């Protein structure tokens, strides 16, 4: 277990988004790229998704979270934040690992958009076949 007064750093990733997360004991304030979470993530669904690790281990109002997120869209950034918070909590206390792992928060979601191939209109789509 890490000393309680220290800040704990972790990195979370999803799609093209990378979140550098810092947690420290506090009152439950979440700041993303210098803005409050309510301003940065517009939907209640995304905010709930990003804070799932804290709810899973009953630490919602016990940690302040500061994150810097780059790349991707809103969903990818929320997923990266979720992954980073989960990893930071496990660094803080290893006993949280089984609960977070069972909920699927410790696994990095590695699905990314497939690249477009040359001679095709998309990644998988082909131009219409014409026999004559």
Question: Residue 5: what pLDDT?
Answer: 56
Section 86-97 average pLDDT: 95
In the predicted model, is pLDDT for residue 121 greater than 90? yes
* Cβ neighbours for 90, distance < 8 A, ≥ 6 positions apart: 96, 97, 100, 106
Q: How far is CA 78 from the centre of its chain?
A: 5
The percentage of the chain sitting over the pLDDT mark of 90, rounded to a whole number, equals 90
Question: Residue 75: what pLDDT?
Answer: 94
Q: Where are the domains of the chain?
A: 8-102
pLDDT bucket at 55, cuts 50 / 70 / 90 = very high
Domain 8-102 indexed as CATH 3.30.230.10: yes
Question: Residue 12: what pLDDT?
Answer: 96
């Amino acid at each position: 277990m890490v000393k309680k007064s220290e800040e704990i750093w972790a990195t979370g990733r999803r799609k093209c988004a990378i979140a550098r997360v810092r947690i420290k004991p506090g009152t439950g304030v979440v700041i993303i790229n210098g803005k409050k979470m309510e301003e940065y993530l517009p939907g209640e669904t995304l905010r709930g998704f990003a804070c799932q690790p804290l709810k899973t281990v009953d630490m919602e109002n016990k940690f302040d979270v500061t994150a810097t997120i780059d790349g991707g869209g809103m969903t990818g950034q929320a997923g990266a934040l979720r992954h980073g918070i989960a990893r930071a909590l496990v660094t803080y206390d290893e006993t949280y690992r089984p609960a977070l792992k069972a909920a699927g928060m410790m696994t990095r979601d590695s699905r990314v958009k497939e690249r477009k191939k040359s001679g095709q209109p998309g990644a998988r789509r082909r131009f219409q076949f014409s026999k004559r």
